[in-house]
Structure 1
Amino acid sequence: MSEIPVHGVDSETRCRHYQTDRDVVAFKFACCRQYSPCYRCHEAVTDHEAIPWPRERFDEPSVLCGVCETELTVPEYLEADYRCPACDVPFNPGCRAHADRYFETDIS
Structure 2
Amino acid sequence: MSGGQKQRIQLTRAVYNDVDIYLFDDPFSAVDAHTAAHLFNVREILLWILNHNKTKKKVILVTHQVEFLSEIDKILVKYLNFAEISSVSHLISHWLSLT
Give the TM interval when normalised to the shorter protein: under 0.3
Structure showing the higher helix proportion among its residues: 2
Structure showing the higher strand proportion among its residues: 2
Q: What TM-score do the two structures reach when normalised by structure 2?
A: 0.27
Q: What TM-score do the two structures reach when normalised by structure 1?
A: 0.26
Q: Which has the larger radius of gyration?
A: 2
